[in-house]
Amino acid sequence: MPDGYLAADVPTPQPGTLPQPGTSPQPGTSPQLGTSPQPGASPEPGLQQRLALFNATRFNPALPTATWREDIATQAERLREEGEWLEQRRGAVAGRAAAAPRDADGFVAWFQELERTGPGQGDALFTWLADEASLDEMRWFLTQEVAGEAGFDDLAALTQVKLSQQAKLEVARNYWDEMGRGNPKGMHGPMLEVIADRLGLQPTLATTVPESLALANVMAGLACNRRYAYHSIGALGVIEQTAPSRAILVARGMKRLGIPPQDRHYFDLHAVLDIKHSEAWNAEAIHPLVAENPAVAPAIAEGALMRLEAGLACFERYRAELWGEGAALAAPAAQASESSGRRGFCVR
């Protein structure tokens, strides 16, 4: 599954509408969709927007500029901000992660159990999407997901640098599947664009709930900082492991709403393919890495839990927006002021 928040996923900031890197968030400019952020439960919107914009620039292929020295200073500030936030998120799951076994067989069994009992698993949002959501509600959900997406392919590519051979090969095989095994029509990223285009989704930073941005920011932060390399292995692996059950339900909802098979192919594909990806990731990446060095087990566990907790926060916010008191569905096409280019997608 793709996941994360990379350059091309982020809309071009419009002057006066989005916070710029290095500036303080302005009251009234944070993303609001239907209901107010839940005090104490939601990430601080300004931070997530700043990190999203940072991720939009840090991965973007670019050319030399005259301001590169100043840019480094800004990047350093963002890296510190990102690091503080990731450490906070890591601290919230460290106790649970520390309880995971350190032997490879035991650890993989613990990891597999996350599919059944991990944070956010079996969330009622998805059966509701499958059986009850209206087309507008489904479009709102999909728009949030598209806006907060990062691209599993690039996250995997970033994560595999200098990994041990067996794990590196497994990430490479997974990446090659993401690339359609060399066939552009089989690339996963562009399949998502079909969904967004056919449904007329216009994801924007300003209209994306901070929980969705936070989910992508977690993935990008883990993949980009080598001190979190093993966290990223865990976070990517748990996506593969938990996505199929949700992909099935979203696909069922889209079918019920009359969305044709070719427009929901991405979900049908991942409902099956990610089961195989997960089995291979656990056996060929996680197992050998823990067998080689048991000290990485809690790091892999923390990454998986950080990812699942971020997903759970999304589901809770989505439910509040879609089901909550006075939930005013944002009409994505009407509300959007800027749209993203390439989209990723993730059923999280």
| Per-residue tokens: 202 | 């216009």
What is the smallest separation between the CB atom of 96 and Fe ion, expressed in angstroms? 25
Asked if residue 342 lies in contact with residue 193, where contact means CB atoms within 8 angstroms, the answer is yes
Of 89 and 277, which CB lies nearer to Fe ion in the complex structure? 277
Residue 90 sits in the site that holds Fe ion (CB under 5 A): no
**Torsions phi, psi for 167 (to 5 deg):** -65, -40
**Torsions phi, psi for 257 (to 5 deg):** -85, 5
User: Measured between alpha carbons, how far is residue 4 from residues 46, 56, 65 in Å?
Assistant: 18, 11, 27
Which residues ranging from 39 to 78 are in contact with Fe ion (CB under 5 A)? Answer: none
Q: How far is residue 47's CA from residue 57's CA, in Å, rounded to a whole number?
A: 16
Which residues are registered as beta bridge partners of 179? 187
What is the smallest separation between the CB atom of 174 and Fe ion, expressed in angstroms? 6
DSSP 9: G
Of 137 and 178, which CB lies nearer to Fe ion in the complex structure? 178
Of 277 and 317, which CB lies nearer to Fe ion in the complex structure? 277
What is the smallest separation between the CB atom of 344 and Fe ion, expressed in angstroms? 9
Given phi > 0 = left and psi -120 to 50 = alpha, else beta, which region is 39? beta
Which residues ranging from 271 to 300 are in contact with Fe ion (CB under 5 A)? Answer: 274, 277
Of 48 and 174, which CB lies nearer to Fe ion in the complex structure? 174
Which residues are registered as beta bridge partners of 35? 33
Q: Is the dihedral of CA 194, 255, 307, 92 positive or negative?
A: positive
Which residues ranging from 211 to 240 are in contact with Fe ion (CB under 5 A)? Answer: 240
| Per-residue tokens: 84 | 């503080």
Quick note: the x/- pattern for Fe ion over 108-147, rule CB under 5 A, is: ----------------------------------------
Of 1 and 314, which CB lies nearer to Fe ion in the complex structure? 1
What is the smallest separation between the CB atom of 69 and Fe ion, expressed in angstroms? 38
What is the smallest separation between the CB atom of 232 and Fe ion, expressed in angstroms? 15
Residue 343 sits in the site that holds Fe ion (CB under 5 A): no
What is the smallest separation between the CB atom of 220 and Fe ion, expressed in angstroms? 17
Q: How far is residue 235's CA from residue 3's CA, in Å, rounded to a whole number?
A: 10
What is the smallest separation between the CB atom of 3 and Fe ion, expressed in angstroms? 9
Select from 50, 90, 139, 188 the one that contacts Fe ion (CB under 5 A).
188
Q: Which residues bind Fe ion (CB under 5 A)?
A: 1, 188, 240, 274, 277
